[in-house]
A and B are shown apart, each in its own frame.
Chain A
Amino acid sequence: MINGAQAMVECLKKEGVSVMFGYPGAVICPFYDAVYEDGSISHVLVRQEQNAGHEASGYARISGKVGVCVVTSGPGATNLITAIATAYLDSVPIVAITGQVRRDQLGKDVFQEVDITGSVEPFVKHSYLIKDANEIPRIFKEAFHIASTGRPGPVLIDVPMDVQLDELDNFEYPEKVNIIGYKPSTKGNPLQVKKALSVIEGAKKPVICIGGGIINAKACDELRAFAEKTGIPVVSTMMGLSAMPSNHDSFIGMIGMHGTPAANKAVSNADTVIIIGARVGDRAVKSPQAVFEGAKIVHIDVDPAEIGKNVKVFVPIVGDAKIILSEISDKCDYVCPDEWKEEVKEYKREYKRNLESRADIEGFVNPVKFLKALSDKMPEDSVVAADVGQNQIWTCNHFEVKEGRLLNSGGMGTMGYSVGAAIGAKLAKPDVPVVAICGDGSFQMQMMELATLVQHGIDVKIVIMRNKNLGMIREIQKNLYKSRHIASNLDGSPDFVALANAYGIPARSIGSNDEIEGAVNELLAAKGPYLLQCMVSSEQPSL
């Protein structure tokens, strides 16, 4: 005989789960007890539930598997909400397990009861409230399947405490799922592929615009092959960064409000744009209709609802980017005209020249130079998790990704994302260096996780770009609100070096460009977690 909690553990093992991130509470205790008894799944104890979600998300994005987080009912579940929404907007496959009050108490507003499936409805791919322990195997099987197939996303499973304690009639993990309304398409419609090919053949100024869908579809090699075969310049949304090395000859840069002028110029001057796995959100292209005026758009996406939502499309193709890209690549003999390739490369060179001619602000670290040094010194397959704010824009535009990965909260822009994402990434790939880059604002939303690093001996390096302000808000106030700075100054923040030391984590602060090299060497050489504070001017612009 096996009870609900033990069945949950069995299901996780069947799904190959070896680690999960969480925080216990009374009504999830039966499950935790079953995890203890089984002993084969390791558990990372976070210091606030939101981090459990980001850690599961970072783990999922680097491992390519479903990330799992576990919290209790009520406040545990509501604390997790931000991380669930973050995963939803960035299409990350996670399964969130929440404890719930007993079935007979549901809807009675008892202690720590909240309708969590109702609360997360708008930003989960699917959710379940388990009312019968015998449903556990089917629901877990479906949840992992839904989270990881088609356009990935978070799935929540709410399990009342008495369901965890109930005995199952028998435990049998289903081999297959059968959800009649859920059959994501993978292969592109052959007619549409043919149409796309003829559009590409006729292009004089084509651009490939990639999004996070390339990475989700594990189509990075196919993308590179297609770009190299045709010579078509590649630009990326924030979520698509690291699908292609930033120093690749065909790669121009990030598009959008915080992208590089070179990439934006390439898109607005293009006559054909091949969008792959990107939803063309408002930060990527502010008014797509105006920007793409006159250009023929081929849009490849696994989610049909994204095609035609934000931009009018000439050739829509619904399906898996990996399959479609390799098909198009195979059938395509197109070579991008040299004049256009040269023109776009000149955009990139012009941007680099402008950037290099900019004077440093005396007495501070220039984040552009710091990130360049960091990317030069880190091994090619390293993982960097950016936070949100100016630090993110600097990282996206100036950290040169090679064979590694850059993690971002692109859709939600969730401050406090980076350390959690980095912890998950490190557990997914223990052999590569992992660095979280954040600002002094975002660090203070997650600094409780220093304890998690220490408790579990997780080797994550943290870089804080400290400008004593919410830099991006300060910049908005300066440019749009006549420098009427309100609530953007971070006075009262602690000494981060002393704080790290209090946790037993070595730390250092630098305040000039001369110290960059030594500090980066020290950071990378450190065994175990390390914190580096870079003093940055509050006048340092985002772009």
Chain B
Amino acid sequence: MMRTISVLVENQPGVLSKVVGLFSRRGFNIDSLAVGTTEDKSISRITIVVNGDSYIIEQVEKQLNKLIPIIKVKTLEEGGYISRTLSLVKVSASAKTRPELMKLAELMGARIVDVSKNSLTLEFADTPERTEVFMSLVRPYGIKETVRTGAIAVESGHTVI
């Protein structure tokens, strides 16, 4: 089962390697990982999507909590959060297929961020599930390159971590 874990850490050197090292040596599987600062520059947020059963998730939480620079760890409730990944997809586009791709981008809410003679680059920011749908729709045109971030997530409603 995929679970999204949100982690607040002190923004100091080596903290990311501590987190990543812990996952690899304890055999936890990271599906995706995203890091960035928060509104407080001394604190960063790491969003980790983990594949594992409830025992694994509990161990991930507890072991992360043991690391000194880690401030808070929270596994987000299913359905209780908004999650996004950002994708940049370079697709083959001829004079014939370009209008179709532009239509598709409009339908899906993707932005065209670069155009060249033989290709289009699309920017798509949505849930991991919608991103899969989008990818499957553009795939027939020929994907030249995909760049994707790990998921970031925020809880819905008033709750904050």
Q: Give residues in A with beta carbon < 8 Å to B.
A: 117-118, 121-122, 125-126, 129, 146, 179-182, 303-305, 308-309
Contact = CB atoms under 8 A, between A and B. Distances in A.
Contacts of A182: 68
Nearest to A123: B25
B126 interface: no
B80 to A, nearest CB: 24
A122 B25 CA distance: 8
Contacts of B158: none
Contacts of A129: 13-14
Given A121-B17, A146-B68, A308-B55, 14 more contacts: A118-B14, A121-B18, A122-B21, A125-B68, A180-B10, A180-B71, A181-B72, A303-B66, A304-B62, A304-B65, A305-B63, A308-B58, A309-B59, A309-B62
Interface of B: 9-10, 13-14, 17-18, 21, 25, 55, 58-59, 62-63, 65-72
A308 B65 CA distance: 15
A305 B59 contact: yes
6 tightest A-B contacts by CB? A305-B62, A181-B71, A126-B68, A181-B70, A182-B68, A180-B71
A117 B66 contact: no
Nearest to A309: B59
Nearest to A306: B62
B62 to A, nearest CB: 4
10 contacts: A122-B25, A129-B13, A180-B10, A181-B9, A181-B10, A181-B68, A304-B62, A305-B59, A305-B62, A308-B58
A196 B66 CA distance: 25
Contacts of A181: 9-10, 67-72
B17 A305 contact: no
Nearest to B24: A122
Nearest to A304: B62
A121 B68 contact: no
Contacts of B67: 181
Contacts, number: 37
Contacts of A309: 59, 62
Nearest to A312: B55
Contacts of B71: 180-181
Contacts of B59: 305, 309
A349 to B, nearest CB: 40
Contacts of B58: 308
A118 to B, nearest CB: 7
B96 to A, nearest CB: 53
A121 B18 CA distance: 7
Contacts of B65: 304-305
Contacts of B17: 118, 121
Contact of B66 (A118, A180, A305): A305
Contacts of B70: 181
Contacts of A303: 66
B99 to A, nearest CB: 52
A122 B9 CA distance: 18
A179 B9 CA distance: 11
A308 B58 CA distance: 9
A125 B25 CA distance: 15
A146 B68 CA distance: 9
Nearest to A179: B68
Nearest to B64: A305
Nearest to B63: A305
Nearest to B21: A121
Contacts of A304: 62, 65
B70 to A, nearest CB: 5
Contacts of A305: 59, 62-63, 65-66
Contacts of A180: 10, 71
Nearest to A146: B68
Nearest to A121: B21
A117 B17 CA distance: 11
Contacts of B68: 125-126, 146, 179, 181-182
A175 B21 CA distance: 33
B8 to A, nearest CB: 8
Most chain A beta carbons < 10 A, residue from B13, B58, B66, B71: B66
A305 B67 CA distance: 11
Nearest to B72: A181
B40 to A, nearest CB: 11
Nearest to B66: A305
Most chain B beta carbons < 10 A, residue from A117, A181, A304, A309: A181
